[in-house]
Structure 1
Amino acid sequence: MTRVLVVVGHGMAGNRLIEEVRAGDPEGRWRIVVAAEEPRPAYDRISLSSYLDGKTAADLDITTPRLRADPLVDLRLNTRVTGLDRDARTVTCADGTVLPYDALVLATGSRPFVPPVPGKELTGCFTYRTIEDLDALREAVRPGEPAVVIGGGLLGLEAARVLRLLGGVPHVVEMAPHLMPLQVDEGGGRVLARLVGELGVDVHCGNGLASVDAGPDGRVGSVTLSDGTVLPASTVVFAAGVRPRDELAEPAGLERGGRGGFLVDERCRTADEHVWAVGECAAVLGTCYGLAAPGYRMAETVARQLLGSASAVFPGADTSTKLKLLGVDVAGFGDVHARTEGAMEFIREDRAAGTYGKLVLARDGRTLLGGVLAGDAGGYAVLRTLLGRELTAPPELLLAGGETL
Structure 2
Amino acid sequence: MAGTVVVVGHGMAGHRFVEELRAGDRAGRWRVVVAAEEPRPAYNRVELSSYLAGRPAADLQLAAPGLLSDPLVQLRLETAVVSVDRAARTVACADGTVIGWDALVLATGSRPFVPPVPGRDLPGCFTYRTIEDLDALRAAAVPGADGVVVGGGLLGLEAAQALRSLGMRPHVVETAPHLMPAQVDAGAGRLLGRLVAGLGVRVHCGRGVAHMAPGPGGRVGEVTLTDGAVLPARVVVFAAGVRPRDELAGPAGLARGERGGFLVDERCRTADARIWAVGECAAVLGRCHGLAAPGYRMAETVARQLLGSRSAVFPGADTSAKLKLLGVDVAGFGDVHAASEGAIEFVRDDRAAGTYAKLVLGPDGRTLRGGVLAGDARGYMALRALLGRELPDAPERLLAAAE
Superposition TM-score, scaled by structure 2 size: 0.99
**Who is 2:317 aligned against?**
317
- How far off is 1:402 after superposition? 4.4
- How far off is 1:235 after superposition? 0.4
- Look up the SS of the partner of 2:263 in the other structure: strand
What residue identity is the alignment partner of 1:128? Answer: Y
Residues of 2 paired with 1:35 and 1:156: CA distance? 30
- How far off is 1:372 after superposition? 0.5
CA contact (8 A) 1:107 1:278 kept: yes
Residues of 1 paired with 2:398 and 2:259: CA distance? 38
**Who is 2:252 aligned against?**
252
CA contact (8 A) 1:322 1:330 kept: yes
- Per-residue CA deviations over 1:188-223 (Å, capped at 9, x if unaligned) read 000000111111100000001100111132111100
> Equivalent residues in 2 for 1:142-291 (5 A)?
142-291=142-291
Residues of 2 paired with 1:19 and 1:384: CA distance? 30
Residues of 2 paired with 1:165 and 1:393: CA distance? 43
**Who is 2:2 aligned against?**
2
The number of aligned residues is: 403
- How far off is 1:117 after superposition? 0.4
> Equivalent residues in 2 for 1:18-57 (5 A)?
18-57=18-57
Residues of 1 paired with 2:160 and 2:402: CA distance? 34
CA contact (8 A) 1:378 1:401 kept: no
Residues of 2 paired with 1:319 and 1:335: CA distance? 10
Residues of 2 paired with 1:397 and 1:57: CA distance? 45
Structure 2 gap segments, 5+ residues each: none
**Who is 2:392 aligned against?**
392
- Look up the SS of the partner of 1:46 in the other structure: helix
> Equivalent residues in 2 for 1:78-89 (5 A)?
78-89=78-89
- How far off is 1:400 after superposition? 2.1
- Per-residue CA deviations over 1:111-159 (Å, capped at 9, x if unaligned) read 0000000000001000000000000001001100000000000010000
Q: 1:250 to 1:367 in 2, by over 3 A?
A: same
CA contact (8 A) 1:5 1:101 kept: yes
Superposition TM-score, scaled by structure 1 size: 0.99
- Per-residue CA deviations over 1:81-133 (Å, capped at 9, x if unaligned) read 00010000000000001000000000000000000000000010000000000
What residue identity is the alignment partner of 2:385? Answer: T
What residue identity is the alignment partner of 1:223? Answer: V
Residues of 1 paired with 2:216 and 2:162: CA distance? 26
Residues of 2 paired with 1:32 and 1:327: CA distance? 42
- How far off is 1:62 after superposition? 1.0
Residues of 2 paired with 1:173 and 1:116: CA distance? 15
**Who is 1:75 aligned against?**
75
Instruction: Please list every run of at least 4 consecutive aligned residues from structure 1 whose deviation after the TM superposition is greater than 3 angstroms.
Output: none
- Look up the SS of the partner of 1:49 in the other structure: helix
CA contact (8 A) 1:4 1:33 kept: yes
Asked if residue 125 in structure 1 is aligned to residue 118 in structure 2, the reply is no
- Per-residue CA deviations over 1:146-176 (Å, capped at 9, x if unaligned) read 0000000001000001000111100000001
- Look up the SS of the partner of 2:346 in the other structure: strand
What residue identity is the alignment partner of 2:285? Answer: L
CA contact (8 A) 2:378 2:402 kept: no
**Cα RMSD for the two superposed structures:** 0.9
- Per-residue CA deviations over 1:311-338 (Å, capped at 9, x if unaligned) read 1110111011111001110011100000
Give the % identical residues.
Answer: 75
Residues of 1 paired with 2:144 and 2:221: CA distance? 14
**Who is 1:355 aligned against?**
355
- How far off is 1:54 after superposition? 2.1
Residues of 1 paired with 2:141 and 2:216: CA distance? 17
Structure 1 gap segments, 5+ residues each: none
